[in-house]
Structure formats: C-alpha cells, structure tokens
C-alpha cells in the first residue's frame, strides 16, 4: 500500500455504450478517445485483482467519477494466494477523492512496464503515441485497516509517518493527502482511453514533477468500464 497508484484518471457514460460529447460542459470530464471522438467520462470503473504492495498480496481498485470529482477505493487482501484472489483475506482499504481538470492538450508518451522500463504497447494500441493531459487536486484521503495484523504492519512501516494506527480508524485526512500526493498537489497526469469497443479501457500515468506531464505510460493495470453505480 506504500506505492498506491492514485491520481489515476477515470472514465465514461452510459453502461455498455460509447458516446461522443456534443457540447462542452464545465462539470463534465471530457477527453479525446483513441477513436478520435471527444468523450465524456463518468460512472464506475474497475481494475480487477492485481498484485499488491506494502505487504499486501492483492489489491482491487474501483473508481467513481461524478462530474469532475473522482473517488478511488483500493481494497487490500493478504491471503498468500499465488493466483489473483480478491475475495479472501481482506485487511483494509484506502480511499481518496480528487477534482479533475481536462487540460485540453495531447502529450507524447512512451509505454513502460511495472518496473518503468520501455515495453510494447497493449494489444491494439501500438500506434498510440499521445495521451490526454489532465490535472488532479487531491482533497480527501483515508486509510482504514480492518485487522490487527494490518495495524501492526502499518505501525511497523510508520505508514505515511504515523505509528499509532488502530483497527477501523484512519489518520487525519490532511496528513494522508500530503502523503498520497508526495507534496505534489495538484499533480499532472496523462490518460489514454480506448473507446473503440466496450467495455472501454483506461490507462493513465502520474507525474512526479509538478510542472510537467508524465511521458511514461504504464502498459498494465487498465481500468474497464463503464458500469452502473449503486
């Protein structure tokens, strides 16, 4: 959980249907899809079960974008499973919200693997060399450990600088916002939306430089959607 991949930028409209933006709306997050269409992104997006960090075996990510506010929930599992298992051994979750701005620029990108090394683009995206530039301002964050074992890990790691974690309790939001953002808030990101078939897939990258968009685009960990929100 130390390396939470946040500030990722979510997605789109009616369930199972692609749509183009017919007019600009200040309360809609609109970007250019791989199809070349202007698309409005909203609703629920799911990443599925991926390898975890910070002592977690597996992590499940879900994002909900309402207007310009993106809320990401990362649920962590510790079960020793060698294959993806986001059903057993839940130990807690992290959640943060940010306000997004579509900056109206396209940024040159290079596809990279989990270690940040150059790699092939995802299948079908071999000709995609640019991504939408966006900015995200993190406003609220919380981390809720749900087992004593997870509390002990967080305290041992002094996660986000705290050593007094308790089951079912987060730390002050302002401190976690600073921790999650690494002091870069707002931060710049890039986003690729493959809107040619449903479900759509979204890939995004985050900059560690507050003055520049990231040029490295992870070729893994895409979120799929949209799905109906509850």
Q: What's the domain count of the chain?
A: 1
Percent over 70 (pLDDT), the chain? 88
Residues whose CB falls within 8 Å of the CB of residue 12, separated by 6 or more in sequence, listed in order: 18, 19, 39, 40, 41, 42, 43, 193, 195, 200, 225, 226
pLDDT category, 210, cuts 50, 70, 90? confident
Q: What angle do CA 112, 118, 121 make, to 5 degrees?
A: 60
Question: Would residue 5 count as lying in a domain?
Answer: no
Res 18: pLDDT: 33
Q: Which long-range contacts (CB under 8 A, 24 or more apart) does 121-130 make?
A: 121/219, 122/194, 122/201, 122/203, 122/219, 122/222, 124/194, 124/196, 125/34, 125/192, 125/194, 128/34, 128/192, 130/106
Task: Read off the pLDDT of residues 123-143 as tens digits, 9 standing for 90 and up.
Answer: 999 999 999 999 999 999 999
Higher pLDDT pick, 2 / 102: 102
For the stretch 136-178, pLDDT in tens is 999 999 999 999 999 999 999 999 999 999 999 999 999 999 9
Q: Is residue 12 part of a domain?
A: no
pLDDT score of 182: 87
In a domain, 1, yes or no: no
Between 124 and 15, whose confidence is greater? 124
Q: What is the pLDDT of residue 26?
A: 66
pLDDT band of residue 19 (cuts 50, 70, 90) is very low
pLDDT at 183: 87
Neighbours of 152 (CB within 10 A): 13
Residue 37 domain boundaries: 29-227
**Would the pLDDT of 98 be above 60?**
yes
Q: Is 10 among the domain residues?
A: no
Asked if residue 11 is part of any domain, the answer here is no
């Amino acid at each position: 959980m130390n390396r939470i991949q946040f500030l990722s930028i979510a997605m789109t409209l009616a369930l199972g249907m692609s749509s183009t933006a017919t007019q600009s709306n200040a309360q809609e997050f609109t970007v250019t899809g791989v199809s070349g269409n202007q698309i409005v992104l909203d609703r629920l997006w799911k990443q599925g079960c991926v390898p975890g960090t910070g002592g977690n075996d597996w992590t499940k990510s879900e994002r909900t974008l309402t207007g310009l506010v993106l809320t990401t929930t990362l649920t962590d599992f510790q079960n020793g499973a060698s294959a993806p298992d986001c059903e057993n051994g839940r130990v807690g979750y992290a959640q943060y919200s940010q306000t997004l701005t579509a900056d109206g620029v396209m940024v040159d990108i290079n596809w990279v693997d989990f270690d940040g090394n150059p790699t092939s683009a995802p299948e079908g995206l071999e000709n995609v060399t640019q991504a939408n530039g966006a900015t995200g301002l993190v406003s609220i964050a919380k981390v809720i450990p749900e087992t004593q074992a997870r509390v002990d890990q967080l305290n041992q790691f002094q996660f986000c600088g705290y050593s007094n974690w308790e089951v079912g309790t987060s730390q002050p939001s302002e401190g976690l916002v600073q921790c999650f953002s690494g002091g870069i808030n707002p931060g710049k990101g890039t986003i690729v939306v493959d809107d040619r078939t449903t479900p759509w897939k979204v890939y995004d990258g985050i900059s560690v430089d507050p003055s520049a968009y990231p040029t490295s685009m992870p070729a893994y960990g895409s979120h799929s959607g949209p799905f109906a929100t509850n």
